[in-house]
Amino acid sequence: MGRCVYGGVYDPDHPSADADGLRSDVLDLVRELGVSVVRYPGGNFVSGYRWEDGVGPREGRPVTLDTAWSSIERNTFGLNEFMTWAKRARVEPMMAVNLGTRGVEDACNLLEYANFGKGTRYSDLRISHGVREPHGIRLWCLGNEMDGPWQIGQKTATQYGQLAAETAKAMRRIDPELELVACGSSNERMPTFGSWEAEVLDHAYEYVDYISLHAYFEQTPTNRAQFLASAHTMDTFIEGVVATCDHIGAKKRSRRKLKLSFDEWNLWYESRFAGQDNLDWAEAPRLIEDEYTTEDAVVVGSLLMSLLRHADRIGVACLAQLVNVIAPIRTEPDADAWRQTIFHPFALTARHARGEVLRVEPAGPAAEGAEDLGAPAVDVTATRDPETGEIAVFAVNRDEARSGKLELKVRSTAPLRVVEHVLMGGADLLETNSRQKPDRVTPRPSTRHELVGERLTAELPPVSWSMIRLAPAEGA
């Protein structure tokens, strides 16, 4: 979509581009961000995509129409280029198949091309394209947002559930070790939400490993308190899908517990978007390149906390998207890539939320203006790395006027010390990063904490996200 690939990860004319046209400055930031899995070719785009158009000699690839986003697609970047990029970015690929305009046969052909060794039509085609070893892609999405009226090839729940089940069965005949993701409802505001998941899983429960969730959040002039409580909305959304999955599992007397794939989530100022029906045909157009504020970074940090809190059931989560399009990384053709504000809470969480997620039950008043949601003013979660003994505490203060006081009892087999306390927010909430000032907004250190024995206290400024790292004391 837009400039995520062309002009984003792939730009042969940029000074940082390597021999394959991949921007090394973007690769460096992707690795710094801590991304571990990338979904490709994504979203609405996949429902009209012919994967064959993006493989083989570039000079022989057709120029096609991307009807999802009214874009001209030159197909100079396809499956094999993506896999080259994924290896250099050190990420696991999550491949999506087209179940909008295509179906079982084409999904199996793509799988054969990508994963089968040699000696068959599509595996030998891959080899003829210069890729001798199979890609070995394990994680696959069975379509995208198939209940959406905007989706090319929209399906009813029954149609899609049957198609997903048959596609999954056929793909597992080729490679039984796959992990497969069925489409959940496009978002929780859809009239099909809940009933869609139940009907789809009634057909596909035993054949898939995950069901997907998508959610985007936006601040409007009248919903600031609700916006700051977005993570609480995400909690409720996740728990509703879990309940539906477990209902169908119980109904089928299945011993399996489905995982969730939250494979699209982010902040998106959709009210600023002209809409798909108002786009002019263009090549790699500038689409929804939202510029994120400090306040947005606070909310993204809290959304990451929600995902951590549900790590027992969420097996995959993908911030949508990676570069330029509602993204943590921005580029221009004549500048170095830079970090948006939301880059920082993601990178810190990816780096330090390791090991086990601890059960934390915060108690305190609800956030003012979000009482109807029951969202606490101060929210917190924590992780513990069993290898190092390090504990990472993540906290958000949603209150718009008052500082919050965090009090935790931290039990450990060895004495602990605070090794780092950083925060975002608390001031300058509308500041952004730009090509001219790429580091205007970064995490800043805080000393407003105290650890006495097992009791940790910290002051959290209004509208702020914090990370406090604890490690075994020296000599402990």
Positions marked active-site:
145, 264
What angle separates helix 79-89 from helix 24-33, to the nearest 10 degrees? 60
Q: What is the greatest pairwise CA distance in the chain?
A: 68
Report the alpha-carbon angle 470-475-476, nearest 5. Answer: 55
Q: How far apart are CA 441 and CA 297, in angstroms?
A: 10
> Are 331 and 321 spatial neighbours (Cβ–Cβ below 8 Å)?
no
Count of Cβ atoms closer than 10 Å to residue 21 Cβ = 19
Distance, C-alpha 289 to centroid of its chain: 17
SS (H, E, C) the chain: CCCCCECCCECCCCCCECCCCEEHHHHHHHHHHCCCEEEECCCHHHHHCCHHHHCCCHHHCCCEEECCCCEEECCCCCHHHHHHHHHHHCCEEEEEECCCCCCHHHHHHHHHHHHCCCCCHHHHHHHHCCCCCCCCCCEEEECCCCCCCCCCCCCCHHHHHHHHHHHHHHHHHHCCCCEEEECCCCCCCCCCCCHHHHHHHHHHHHHCCEEEEEEEECCCCCCHHHHHCHHHHHHHHHHHHHHHHHHHHHHCCCCCCCEEEEEEEEECCHHHCCCHHHCCCEECCCCCCCCCEHHHHHHHHHHHHHHHHCCCCEEEEEECCCECCCCCEECCCCCCCEECCCHHHHHHHHHHCCCEEECCCCCCCECCCCHHHCCECEEEEEEECCCCCCEEEEEEECCCCCCEEEEEECCCCCCEEEEEEEEEECCCCCCECCCCCCCCCCCEECCCEEEECCEEEEEECCCEEEEEEEEECCCC
What angle separates helix 195-204 from helix 230-251, to the nearest 10 degrees? 40
